[in-house]
Amino acid sequence: VQLQAFGGGLAQSGGSLTLSCATSGFALDRKSIGWFRQAPGKEREGISCVSGRNTYYTDSVKGRFTISIDKNTVYLQMNGLKPEDTAVYYCAADLSGTSWSYSDCGPPFEYDYWGQGTQVTVSS
């Protein structure tokens, strides 16, 4: 099982970036895939996750970010970026699917495999 996250970079406030999480070694259906981010000095937080056709967004990104799946890749389209979106972004897979809920992505420890992280920096 492998996950590779890429697509981060530098964006201006109001700009857009698309993160990709290439997965291998397992089938995406019936699994939960989450996008997490961790800013300096802060805990890692789940910002968006998908399980089948179900998606979740935390309030701070709702309406700006969109999670989607195409074959074995999970995307996070990020529009309307803000300086507070600056963080290292990770994708993670929960192969049991037990982390899924409509209220949050579940805690990081419920995810079995992680991508390496990609830095997103948003300038004001």
User: 56: closest CA among 21, 23, 114, 99?
Assistant: 99
pLDDT confidence of residue 96 = 87
pLDDT confidence of residue 116 = 95
Residue segments in the chain with a per-residue pLDDT below the cut of 70:
none
Cα(59)–Cα(54) distance, rounded to whole angstroms?
Answer: 16
Cα(100)–Cα(96) distance, rounded to whole angstroms?
Answer: 9
pLDDT confidence of residue 101 = 81
pLDDT confidence of residue 28 = 85
pLDDT confidence of residue 98 = 80
pLDDT confidence of residue 52 = 87
pLDDT confidence of residue 58 = 96
